Amino acid sequence: MKLAILSRAPKAYSTQRLRTAALDRGHDVKVLNTLRFAIDLSGPEPDLQFRGRTLSDYDAILPRVGASVTYFGTAVVRQFEQMDVYTPNTANGISNSRDKLRATQILSRHQIGMPATTFVRNRADVLPAIERVGGAPVVIKLLEGTQGIGVILAPDTKVAEAIIETLQSTSQNVLIQSFVKESKGRDIRALVVGDRVVAAMRRTAQGDEFRSNVHRGGSVQGVTLDPAFEQAAVRSAQIMGLRVAGVDMLEGADGPLVMEVNSSPGLEGIEAATKLDVAGAIIDYIGNQVAFPEIDVRQRLTVSTGYGVAELVVHGGADLVGKTIAESGLEDRDITVLTLHRGTTVIPNPRRRTALEPQDRLLCFGKLEEMRSMIPERRRRRDKVRKLPKEPIHEP
Ligand SMILES: Nc1ncnc2c1ncn2[C@@H]1O[C@H](COP(=O)(O)OP(=O)(O)O)[C@@H](O)[C@H]1O
Ligand SMILES: [Mg+2]
């Protein structure tokens, strides 16, 4: 294949390793400076120039977009997507993972363990927010920090309030997170490629530092992950739209707590700690996937009028429970089941003989009018966990 590594650091360890791994496997590979592209929307089709010239044909790109150039970098990646060039990490995936709050919001509906997190703006809401995540000590994070910079441990409420106020007064948005004490300055970095963890390490902070980032002096050690950690890492990366990702997890008392998903994970620390060929695994994966450029399913499938995708939920006691997909009557109504989500597992292209269980979620393609009647009423979010307030609360 012909591969372009988008990077501003051709000499960096990770770039060199990826380039060498590609060459070793007989691929044609170039490292192209992300900032030297020009996005060209002047012709009949989306196009790209590089250093002032029309770009030659590439089969795949591997974006290594630095945090300081997220906007331009993701615009370039998006342009490649429009040109049907394969990328393991989508522009959306990269920008969503860059913002710690946005990433947490996206992951929060998928039963993935995460440290309790909250985000507020008004001064009056700060104290209740700190209480909501369990009170001090709390962790305060800049939304777009990396390498441990912008992650602060506030020992008590007063200090926490002062820090939050100071940062907000300089227009910095911060999230407030419970401090996971039991992780004791340690965390797990899992390197996800496709649907598996290819390498994992434990990072341990130096001295009394609580941040275990390598850039903050953390030491690293290869580890074999428990299935729960492996699953949390793979699912987080996939939900974010990243096929190459470094997933950071704390070791909580009840299992993995995902902190963030990195779209351009460094390879030096993890290859040194595990002695594994991570770069090779990434290149092999891209080589296998090249034929499948990213398709925005919803966008493409809704082109035919009246048809679209929708998620149907099988309710306990409803007429679908216990029936197979063949017996469900969906086919007669011109509805095709694309995937079946059951708890945290996904069954792609479920067989017609698959029996439906309560709470199964069916991702379907079909006539929107036919599906409308089957979409459950919007879930009342308070139903499950409602604690009745003493007095009615009137939201302004
Ligand atoms: N809620 C938390 N509880 C305990 N330690 C934390 C928490 N959040 C972050 N840390 C520590 O701080 C480090 C950096 O946090 P992280 O959110 O990954 O930011 P960055 O993007 O700067 O790496 C983590 O690797 C972990 O060691
Ligand atoms: Mg991190």
Give residue 251 CA to ligand 2 midpoint distance, Å.
14
Q: How is the beta sheet containing 60-63 ordered, strand by strand?
A: 28-32, 2-6, 60-63
- 325 is in which domain, residue-wise? 297-373
Give residue 135 CA to ligand 2 midpoint distance, Å.
23
Q: Let me know how long the chain is.
A: 396
> What pLDDT band is residue 320 in, cutting at 50, 70 and 90?
confident
Cβ-contact 23, 51 below 8 angstroms: no
Q: Are residues 284 and 323 in the same domain?
A: no
Cα separation, 339 vs 351, whole angstroms:
10
Of 191, 195, 193, 200, the residue nearest 346 (C-alpha) = 195
- Among protein residues, the one whose CA lies closest to atom 15 of ligand 1: 148
Q: Is 257 in the pocket of ligand 1 (CB under 6 A)?
A: no
Kindly state whether residue 380 falls inside one of the protein's structural domains.
Answer: no
Q: What are residue 260's DSSP bridge partners? A: 248
Give residue 256 CA to ligand 2 midpoint distance, Å.
14
Q: How far out from the chain centre does Cα 381 lie?
A: 24
Give residue 198 CA to ligand 2 midpoint distance, Å.
18
* Residue 244: Cβ-neighbour burial (10 angstroms; 0-12, 13-18, 19+): buried
Looking at residue 394, what is its pLDDT?
54
- State the pairing for strand pair 186-193/255-262: unpaired
Among residues 179, 205, 224, the one where a domain terminates is: 179
Cα separation, 90 vs 320, whole angstroms:
36
Looking at residue 319, what is its pLDDT?
77
- Among protein residues, the one whose CA lies closest to atom 19 of ligand 1: 148
Q: Are residues 162 and 63 in the same domain?
A: no
Q: Please give the mean pLDDT across all residues of the chain.
A: 91
Q: To the nearest whole percent, how much of the chain has pLDDT over 90?
A: 74
**pTM, two decimal places:** 0.85
Cα separation, 165 vs 163, whole angstroms:
5
Kindly state whether residue 46 falls inside one of the protein's structural domains.
Answer: yes
Give residue 211 CA to ligand 1 midpoint distance, Å.
6
**SS3 for 18?**
helix
pLDDT tens profile 52-96 = 999 999 999 999 998 889 999 999 999 999 999 999 999 999 999
Domain count, the chain: 4
Q: Are residues 158 and 188 in the same domain?
A: no
Kindly state whether residue 26 falls inside one of the protein's structural domains.
Answer: yes
CATH number for the domain harbouring residue 274: 3.30.470.20
Kindly state whether residue 387 falls inside one of the protein's structural domains.
Answer: no
Q: Is 151 in the pocket of ligand 1 (CB under 6 A)?
A: yes
Q: Are residues 287 and 190 in the same domain?
A: yes
Kindly state whether residue 379 falls inside one of the protein's structural domains.
Answer: no
Statement: residue 294 has pLDDT above 50: yes
Kindly state whether residue 279 falls inside one of the protein's structural domains.
Answer: yes
Q: Are residues 175 and 78 in the same domain?
A: no
* Residue 124: Cβ-neighbour burial (10 angstroms; 0-12, 13-18, 19+): exposed
**Assigned token pair, 98:** 């860059």
Cα separation, 351 vs 373, whole angstroms:
24
Pocket test for ligand 1, best of 211, 219, 262 (most atoms within 8 A of CB): 211
Q: Measured from the CA of 262, which atom of ligand 1 is nearest?
A: 21
pLDDT tens profile 322-371 = 899 999 989 999 999 999 999 878 899 999 999 999 989 999 999 888 88
CATH number for the domain harbouring residue 121: 3.30.1490.20
Q: Is 139 in the pocket of ligand 1 (CB under 6 A)?
A: yes
Q: How many angstroms separate the first and last alpha carbons of the chain?
A: 58
- State the pairing for strand pair 28-32/37-40: unpaired
Q: Is 260 in the pocket of ligand 1 (CB under 6 A)?
A: yes
Q: Is 115 in the pocket of ligand 1 (CB under 6 A)?
A: yes
Cα separation, 236 vs 265, whole angstroms:
14
Average pLDDT rounded to a whole number, residues 116-136: 94
pLDDT tens profile 182-239 = 998 999 999 999 999 999 999 999 999 999 998 899 999 999 999 999 999 999 999 9
Quickly list H helices, the chain: 13-24, 70-82, 91-98, 100-107, 126-132, 157-169, 227-240, 268-274, 278-289, 297-301, 368-372, 382-385
Kindly state whether residue 111 falls inside one of the protein's structural domains.
Answer: no
